[in-house]
Amino acid sequence: MKKVYFLLAALAGLVFLANTSRVTRAKYGMVVGTPEIRSISGLAFGPDGVLLVGDSKSATVFAIDTKDATANANAQPIEIKNIDQKIATLLGTEAANISIQDIAVNPVSKNIYCAVQSADGTPVLLKISGDKIEAVSTKNVPFSSLALNNAPAEDAKDKRGNAVRVSAISDIGFADGKVLVSGLSGQEFNSTFRSIPFPFANKQEQSTLEIYHAAHGKYETLAPIRTFTTAEIKGKKYLVASYTCTPLVLFPMDELKPGTHVKGRTVAEMGSGNSPIDMVTVSKGGESFLMMSNSSRPVFKVKYKSIEAYQGALTTPVEESFATAGVDFVSLPVTNVIQMDKLDESRMVILQRRSNGSLDLWTSSERYL
């Protein structure tokens, strides 16, 4: 009889474990738990309100189901003045003790997600809906993660003594069912681009990159892409990328294969002494535009028609410091943009430091196009 009781108890335990496993499993192979996010280097959205978090400190990409997937076909303009002060008040601190690392618009709900870092390095995730700002809990949420292969060692330094690991993830995006990650690796050619199938399956395709930087007058493999997007140009898909000192470079997506070393085609030099921050594609009247915010320059607007028409590549140095070359672009009357992202086909959400010192979050209008 004791053997019967023991078998029944064992079977009950197995049933309990099976049910527990089913309860904690979520879509896209996620499990319910608390992701150990050490930093937020970049944000992007995958399908169905899945938030992608790039964490350079742990050299890991996290996917979190925000359960924020109610469609919003008519996103209203947003304007929040002194948003850093409002966030600091929410977190019980002062604006001087926080920095906004990135923003990403959920393409389904149109809510804005914001990555904030406190003075002690603690990452915080926020959601902005209309004028409401609230903290996003990452405790007991459906998530999955993937550690990057060949990431720089945590104590690695470059020739100037700067930490390399901080650029393990320099930007993150999502296209055609894959998580796209730019950054540095621990390999000989440091500049790296990763394409990771989603849902995660412990597979990542990795290419090393090389560009000609006309402002520096040389070929480079050590600097990471700072910001990128993807676009179809003349029927072919490209990675459109920019680096510090602002070269604009095209990489054919079909050449970014596992283990390859790919040379990009530099189509513009947009001015040295500057670092690109964010890049999005918007459109109006059937014409598409590349919009790019910068650390020391206004927001740039480039017509994709101009990129299509430019057949050459920059392979010689620019003749003058801070000069531009290649594809034409327009400098918009919008300066000191800290972050930006695409809201819908023709509008952007912009985080801007105004001339009066106020840090404001606002929505652009079509007049910039």
Least confident of 24-28, 56-60, 81-85, 240-244: 24-28
Cite the DSSP H helix spans in the chain.
2-24, 83-91, 304-309
108 part of a folded domain:
yes
190 part of a folded domain:
no
**Rounded Cα–Cα distance for residues 67 and 29 (Å):** 15
The answer, yes or no, to whether residue 58 has pLDDT greater than 70, is: yes
**What is the band of 160 on the pLDDT scale with cuts at 50, 70, 90?**
confident
pLDDT at position 47 is 97
157 part of a folded domain:
no
Please state, for a pLDDT cut of 70, what percent of the chain lies above it: 93
Which amino acid appears at position 173 of this protein? G
Block residue for tokens 């997600």: 113
Kindly report, residue by residue over 269-288, the tens digit of the pLDDT.
999 999 999 999 999 999 99
Kindly report, residue by residue over 95-110, the tens digit of the pLDDT.
999 999 999 999 999 9
Contact between 43 and 128 (Cβ < 8 Å): no
pLDDT at position 91 is 96
107 part of a folded domain:
yes
User: What is the average pLDDT across 293-304?
Assistant: 98
40 part of a folded domain:
yes
- Looking at per-residue pLDDT, the higher value among 10 and 298 belongs to 298
Which residues constitute the domain of residue 110?
34-147
Kindly report, residue by residue over 115-141, the tens digit of the pLDDT.
999 999 999 999 999 999 999 999 999
53 part of a folded domain:
yes
The answer, yes or no, to whether residue 149 has pLDDT greater than 50, is: yes
247 part of a folded domain:
no
Contact between 247 and 227 (Cβ < 8 Å): no
Kindly report, residue by residue over 33-42, the tens digit of the pLDDT.
999 999 999 9
Split into its structural domains, the chain has a count of: 1
The answer, yes or no, to whether residue 16 has pLDDT greater than 60, is: no
pLDDT at position 162 is 87
pLDDT at position 2 is 34
Nearest C-alpha neighbor of 285 from the set 345, 231, 343, 330: 345
User: What is the average pLDDT across 45-57?
Assistant: 97
The answer, yes or no, to whether residue 14 has pLDDT greater than 80, is: no
**Rounded Cα–Cα distance for residues 335 and 228 (Å):** 20
Query: Is the omega angle on the peptide bond into residue 199 within 30 degrees of 0, that is, cis?
Result: yes
Q: What are the tokens at 239?
A: 């990675």
95 part of a folded domain:
yes
Query: Has this prediction a pTM greater than 0.85?
Result: yes
Contact between 302 and 268 (Cβ < 8 Å): yes
Q: What are the tokens at 212?
A: 């000609």
